[in-house]
Structure 1
Amino acid sequence: MTFVSDPPQLADVFELPSKNGHANREQQKAALLEVITGAVALDTLKLGLEVLEDIESPTERFIALQNLREQTGLTNGKAFDQAVATLIDEQRNDQDCTLAELMERQHDATWGIDQFGAKGALVCIDGDKGEGKTTLMYQAAIAVASGAPLFNELTVQRGPAIIVQCDESDLNAKKKFLAMGADADLPIHWMWGFNPAMVPELKRKIQKTGAKLIGIDSITTVAGGRGIKSTDPEYALFLYQLNHLAAELGVVIFLLIHLRKADTAKGRTAVGLDDFLGTGMLTAACSDVFGYWANKAEDAFPYQFMLRCLGKRNCEAGTTWDLQGSTDDFSLTFVGVQGGGETPSERCSVIAKTLEYLRQRKGQPQAVETIAAGIGAHEKTVAKELRDYYSSGNALQIQRVKGQSTAGGGRPPWLWMF
Structure 2
Amino acid sequence: MAELKIIGMDEVAVEEIEWLWYPYIPFGKLTIIHGDPGEGKTTLILQLAALLSRGDKLPCDDTEREPISIIYQTAEDGLGDTIKPRLLSGNADCTQIKVIDESEVPLTMLDARVERAIQETGARMIILDPMQAYLGEKVDMNRANEVRSILSQLGRIAEKYKCAIILVGHLNKMQGTKANYRGLGSVDFQATARSVLVVGRVKDSPETRVMAHQKSSLAPEGEPIAFELNKETGFHWIGHYDISIDDLLSGFSRQKKSEMAESLITDCLAEGKCPQQVIQQKAESMGISKRILDTVKKSLDVQSIKIGSKWYWQLAA
- TM-score bin, normalised by smaller chain: 0.5 to 0.7
Name 1:189's counterpart in structure 2. 98
Whole-angstrom distance in 2 between the partners of 1:215 and 1:324: 22
Question: What is the percentage of aligned positions where both structures have the same residue?
Answer: 22
Q: Aligned equivalents of 1:305 and 1:318: distance in 2?
A: 16
Matches for 1:242-257 after TM superposition, within 5 Å? 242-257=154-169
Per the alignment, residue 352 of structure 1 pairs with none
Match of 1:97 among 7, 12, 17: 7
The question of 1:163 aligning with 2:100 is answered no
Residues 123 and 288, structure 1, Cα contact 8 Å, conserved in 2:
yes
Q: Hey, what does 1:310 align to over in structure 2? A: 214
Return the TM-score normalized by structure 2.
0.66
Shift of 1:168: 1.1
The equivalent of 1:147 in structure 2 is: 55
- Is 1:283 the equivalent of 2:190? yes
Partner residue of 1:333? 237
SS at match of 2:173: coil
What CA distance in whole angstroms lies between the structure 1 residues aligned with 2:85 and 2:178? 28
Tell me how large the CA RMSD over aligned residues is: 2.9
CA drift of 1:179 comes to: 3.0
Residue 100 of structure 1: SS of its match in structure 2? helix
Kept in 1, the 8 Å contact 2:34–2:170? The answer is yes
Q: Which has the higher strand share?
A: 2
Q: Does structure 1 conserve the Cα–Cα contact (< 8 Å) formed by 2:50 and 2:90?
A: no
Label 1:283 to 1:99 Cα distance change in 2 as closer, same or farther (>3 A).
Answer: same
- Look at both structures and tell me which one has the larger radius of gyration over its CA atoms: 1
Match of 1:226 among 118, 137, 142: 137
After TM superposition, list the pairs within 5 Å mapping 1:51-66 onto structure 2: none
- Check 1:124–1:315 CA distance in 2 against 1; reply closer, same or farther (3 A cut): farther
Q: For residues 395-414 of structure 1, what are the structure 2 equivalents within 5 Å?
A: none
CA distance in 2, matches of 1:273, 1:120: 24
Measured against aligned partners, the alpha-carbon deviations of 1:7-30 in whole angstroms (never above 9, x if no partner) come to xxxxxxxxxxxxxxxxxxxxxxxx
Give yes or no for contact 1:309–1:315 (8 Å, CA) kept in 2: no
Q: Measure the CA separation in 1 of the matches of 2:215 and 2:235.
A: 26
**Cα displacement (A) at 1:237:** 1.8
**Is this contact kept in 2: 1:283–1:312, CA < 8 A?**
no
Q: Tell me the residue number matched to 1:174.
A: 84
1:238 aligns with 2:145: no
Q: How many Å separate the matches in 1 of 2:193 and 2:233?
A: 31
Q: Taking structure 1 as reference, are residues 271 and 130 closer, same or farther at Cα in structure 2, changes over 3 Å only?
A: farther
Partners of 1:153 and 1:334 within 8 A in 2: no
| Displacement of 1:273 | 1.6
- Conservation of the 8 A alpha-carbon contact between 1:239 and 1:285: yes
Q: 1:209 aligns with which of 115, 121, 127?
A: 121
Unaligned segments of structure 2, at least 5 residues: 244-317
| Higher RCO structure, 1 or 2 (CA under 8 Å, sep 6+) | 2
Q: In 2, Cα distance between the equivalents of 1:212 and 1:328?
A: 33
Equivalent-residue separation in structure 2 for 1:165 and 1:288 (angstroms): 21
CA 1:110/1:289 → structure 2, altered by over 3 Å: closer, same or farther?
same
CA distance in 1, matches of 2:10, 2:50: 41
How many pairs does the alignment contain? Answer: 238
Within 5 A, what are the aligned runs for 1:102-117?
102=12, 105=13, 107-117=15-25
Contact 1:246 1:252 in 2 (8 A): yes
Do 2:109 and 2:134's aligned partners in 1 also have CA atoms closer than 8 Å? Answer: no
1:166 maps to amino acid: A
Q: Which amino acid aligns with 2:184?
A: L
Change in CA separation of 1:99 and 1:106 when aligned onto 2, cut-off 3 Å: closer
In 2, distance between residues paired with 1:196 and 1:130? 24
Residue 222 of structure 1: how far off its partner (Å): 1.8
CA-CA distance at 1:333 after TM superposition? 0.8
Q: How does 1:338-349 map to 2 (within 5 A)?
A: 338=242
C-alpha distance 138-309 of structure 1, shift in aligned 2 (>3 A): same
Residues 181 and 289 of structure 1, relative CA distance in 2, 3 Å threshold: same
Amino acid at match of 1:125: I
Give the conservation status (yes or no) of the 8 Å contact 1:121–1:247: yes
**What is the CA–CA distance in structure 2 between the aligned matches of 1:178 and 1:328, rounded to whole Å?**
17
Aligned pair in 2 of structure 1 residues 110, 293: CA closer, same or farther (>3 Å)?
same
Letter of the aligned partner of 1:226 in structure 2?
E
Number of the residue aligned with 2:179: 272
The answer for unaligned runs of 5 or more in structure 1 is 1-38, 40-89, 340-418
- Give the alignment of 1:46-85 within 5 angstroms: none
Pairwise CA distance, 1:202? 0.8
The structure-2 alpha-carbon separation of the partners of 1:131 and 1:154, relative to structure 1 and needing over 3 Å to count, comes to: farther
SS of structure 2 residue aligned to 1:149: coil
Higher helix residue share: 1
Offset from partner CA, 1:90-119 (integer Å, 9 cap, x none): 69x85x5222211xx263412112221111
